[in-house]
Structure 1
Amino acid sequence: MSSSFFLKPGAAKQANKKRKINATKAKGKLSSKPGKRTQNATNAPPKKQRRAKADDEEIASDEEEYDSGNKTLVYSTDEEGVEEETAQDKRLRLAKKYLEEIEKQEADRVEDRDLSQSVEQRLQTEYLDSVGRLRRNIAATIKSCSIQCALKNRLHHSPICALALSADGRHLYVGAKSQFVLKWCTESGKVLDKLDVQPHRDEPETGKKRRSHVTSICLSTDMKYLALAEGGAHIQIWCPQTMRHLKTFKGHRDSVTGLVFRKATHELYSAAKDRSVKIWSLDEMAYVESLFGHQTAVTSIDALSRERAISAGGSDCSLRIWKITEESQLIYNGHRDGIECVKLINDEHFVSGGVDGAISLWSALKKKPICTAQLAHGKGENEVANWITAIAVVVNTDLVATGSCDGCVRLWQSNPNARKLQEIQSISIAGFINGLTFNGDGTKLFVAVGQEHRLGRWWRHKEAKNSIVVIDIKLQNTASN
């Protein structure tokens, strides 16, 4: 065997030491090349120095400083020496400004000794209104109801089907079984403008013309958008101020029966005979999503400020509250026949009317109605109940109005706590009541009257006149809250 394989004692240790030294030198040469992040261990600064350098970099920042003792955020000042306003300071400043405005407004109406009490009551009222818990009792303060006038126009010689009132109560938009929607001034009783639905309506592929039929109209709170159902599966979007066409939404597979804007938003909810509820965003002019659950055609829909909608399922005899953000729904049953219309009184209570002639008062917390008024509008000549065709409410109050084909509009007082729905007034109006809407304080009621029902031509009241009837409701000066 060759002697080159044998080492002297201690030679192995010296060889290992030389290999380590050579490796260290080679590592130092590589670290000296440009673009390499590796540092020579012998040239690395001590840990204390690196820590001090990092601390220096934090202190040099001029965006914000921290007081280590009190742990409070200290904001830097600008060149003029004015400190930046924090979010808490801004809220406090706006609250003080709002309180000063309310005090000025209330000071003009009340005496000094009642000023603080009046401001407190107003703040409480506005808070309850914002959270949907405000409730005013005005039904008991009604002194009289009378027909003020009837609005007619030759363009609406056919039955009136739908109407929508602006938030300030100055403009009324009316649709009928014709191609025109009219804009009325409620103060003068004159037509201010009109829009033609026909040119913006797509005909079926068969080429057959269908009858114009505006079944539903709704307005956004800020009067920026007007949505209408033009008798088919499409929804037209218009500008209510200029009466200019903006967009046509296509998505439903059958006729649209109901439309509503969520309060103070541009979020539109639609219901149709295709058993679906759809959500549309008018800020983006786009479709959002569809909600399914009803087994038959959806006949009515309503919404308030919360991101929820309530719909009536027609002959499936169910009401559904759609919790959109939670992606769930609540189902309510109680009518013996199809449900024609539904309206929210507030976020906790609602009222519905059906083909069985019953009017039901509901609580969102219970699956069955609190109380029901059977045969609310009597029976017809064939001993069949007169179905409820329209409902209107003054939001956050106890006043409800209903219509049918029995020749009168009835006013009701709702009391969920006492489980009562009591009739208080009746106004004679011949024909089908296809639409009802109150103004903000409940002193005016606008009624859409037609010789036929808004969704069909099953029978006809020849003695009725196609018009908008304005009912004047006189209230007492004081109302209990």
Structure 2
Amino acid sequence: MSSSFFLKPGAAKVAANKKRKLNATKAKGNAKPGKKTQNAVPGPKKQRRAKVDDEEIASDDDEEYNGNTLAFSADEDEEQETAQDKRLRLAKEYLAEIEKQEAERAEQQELSQSVEQRLQTEYLDSVGRLRRTIAADLKSCTIKNVLKHKLHHSPICALSLSADGKLLYTGAKSQYVLKWCTESGKVLEKGDVLPHREEPETTKKRRSHVIAICLSSDMKYMALAEGGVNIQIWCPQKMKHMQTFKGHRDNVTGLVFRKGTHELYSAAKDRSVKIWSVDEMAYVESLFGHQTAVTSIDALSRERAITAGGSDCSLRIWKITEESQLIYNGHKDGIECVKFINDEHFVSGGVDGAVSLWSALKKKPISTTQLAHGKGDNDVANWITAIAVVVNTDLVATGSCDGCVRLWQSNPNARKLQQILSIPITGFINALTFNADGSKLYVAVGQEHRLGRWWRLKAAKNNVVVIDLKSSNVNKKEQ
């Protein structure tokens, strides 16, 4: 039975037309480019139909396989990270970024605080308001070295230490100033002050006597009192004489450079205090007020000087820019020496054997230790001959002729001056000086007092004693 029997009228014709179009399309696709396609001779009907079916099946399978592959890949991605996993991943990334930013911010804040603290410390130190407590940590002391030289066979009268603590300059009741290396303990250079004295022709030659020495902060100038009315200015590096200042009418007893400047203050027995500009090598002005010889002078960074008036029993702070002075009274007898602890407090020692702690805001001492170095054989108080302090700390050292150097802890807030150590050294303690951190103390020892020859201790040695101070803890700082 023919297959066309089941087709509707005209359907067989339509099917035949579709088949012819399909064959024509196939023939055109197989033709080579650039040549006309020849009419293909139709082969057997069954073979052509099978070939078309095979091609259509292969094409359908490929499309279906590719579609399945794509669908499978999309499903796999969805299985690897769901919506919840994605939110969790983004949250973790956000937290990690926040932690990184906070760590950077904390590091920056810590650095900022460190810089701020350092600037504040430097500022307080520059204005003299930085406080360090080191006296309480001192546990022991040992004599490290003794400096001797044949040119200093007479009593040592003056000491001055460089800011870095590497060079020490000493003067004695002789015509020489010696420059020492503190590490090796050897003399590097010497200077003779006698040829540079300018004496009137009618004046008899007098004994050499270097009574005071001071150094500028930058080690550019050294001033020394030659034992007379004049002040000599030297270059401490080359040990060469530069200039001689004249103006005092009696022997110069004390010299000090204002910290960080080349402004020199001098005190003398003529009851005056004079100011000199060493940069210009010129005299500036004189300050009067003491009734007797001025025995000691000190200054820090501010334009102020403090002086001890000897037997007039007064201390005076000279406000140079304000052209005024503050007067302090408290000792029962002459005042021999005075030192600034900081801009607000100072300490003094006198012939009455008392050591007093003062506040610049009070006219009377806030603490006084009577007979600080005991009494002598004649039942008279041993007078205080030298004082040294570590500036802006609580450590104070005092000397006398009782055979001991005593270390004290000053506490202005508690109104107390407490002894912490006693170091046995025989002789007159004519000068004391600490290094910058208070770990070493230099002591000028002599058989006689630096200002006179009232009596002599034959058992003493004329030398410089170097003392190591040992601390148990790191220095504490407080404002």
Bin of the TM-score, shorter chain as denominator length: 0.7 to 0.9
Deviation at 1:143, TM superposition (A): 1.9
Could you list the per-position Cα deviations for residues 81-118 of structure 1 after superposition, in whole angstroms to 9, with x for gaps in the alignment?
Answer: xxxxxxxxxxxxxxxxxxxxxxxxxxxxxx99965554
> How many angstroms apart in 2 are the aligned matches of 1:396 and 1:239?
29
Larger Rg: 2
Q: Which residue of 2 aligns with 1:218?
A: 214
Counterpart among 142, 151, 168 of residue 172 in structure 1? 168
1:242 aligns with 2:238: yes
> How many angstroms apart in 2 are the aligned matches of 1:121 and 1:374?
41
Counterpart of 2:120, as a letter, is: Q
Q: Secondary structure at the match of 1:310?
A: strand
Q: What does residue range 137-156 of structure 1 map to in structure 2 within 5 Å?
A: 137-156=133-152
Deviation at 1:125, TM superposition (A): 1.3
> How many angstroms apart in 2 are the aligned matches of 1:259 and 1:384?
30
Q: What does residue range 44-59 of structure 1 map to in structure 2 within 5 Å?
A: none
Q: Which residue of 2 aligns with 1:97?
A: none
1:256 aligns with 2:247: no
Counterpart among 398, 401, 416 of residue 402 in structure 1? 398
Q: What does residue range 179-190 of structure 1 map to in structure 2 within 5 Å?
A: 179-190=175-186
Q: Which residue of 2 aligns with 1:320?
A: 316
Counterpart of 1:298, as a letter, is: V
> How many angstroms apart in 1 are the aligned matches of 2:240 and 2:126?
33
Instruction: Give the RMSD, CA atoms, in angstroms.
Output: 1.3
Could you list the per-position Cα deviations for residues 391-419 of structure 1 after superposition, in whole angstroms to 9, with x for gaps in the alignment?
Answer: 00000000000000000100000000000
1:456 aligns with 2:467: no
> How many angstroms apart in 2 are the aligned matches of 1:254 and 1:207?
14
Could you list the per-position Cα deviations for residues 127-173 of structure 1 after superposition, in whole angstroms to 9, with x for gaps in the alignment?
Answer: 11112111101000112111101000000000000010001110000
Deviation at 1:477, TM superposition (A): 3.4
Counterpart among 225, 232, 244 of residue 228 in structure 2? 232
Alpha-carbon distance change, 135 to 198 in structure 1, aligned in 2, over 3 angstroms: same
More helix, by proportion: 2
1:130 aligns with 2:153: no
Q: What does residue range 71-470 of structure 1 map to in structure 2 within 5 Å?
A: 117-470=113-466
> How many angstroms apart in 1 are the aligned matches of 2:321 and 2:241?
31
> How many angstroms apart in 2 are the aligned matches of 1:474 and 1:113?
37
Q: Secondary structure at the match of 2:267?
A: strand
Deviation at 1:204, TM superposition (A): 4.1
Deviation at 1:121, TM superposition (A): 3.0
> How many angstroms apart in 1 are the aligned matches of 2:111 and 2:341?
31
Q: Secondary structure at the match of 1:195?
A: strand
> How many angstroms apart in 2 are the aligned matches of 1:330 and 1:456?
30
> How many angstroms apart in 2 are the aligned matches of 1:143 and 1:122?
29
Q: Secondary structure at the match of 1:129?
A: helix
> How many angstroms apart in 1 are the aligned matches of 2:194 and 2:474?
48
Q: Point out where structure 2 has 5 or more consecutive residues left out of the alignment.
A: 1-106
What percentage of aligned pairs have identical amino acids? Answer: 83
> How many angstroms apart in 1 are the aligned matches of 2:211 and 2:195?
17
Deviation at 1:188, TM superposition (A): 0.7
TM-score, structure 2 as length reference? 0.76
Q: Secondary structure at the match of 1:376?
A: coil
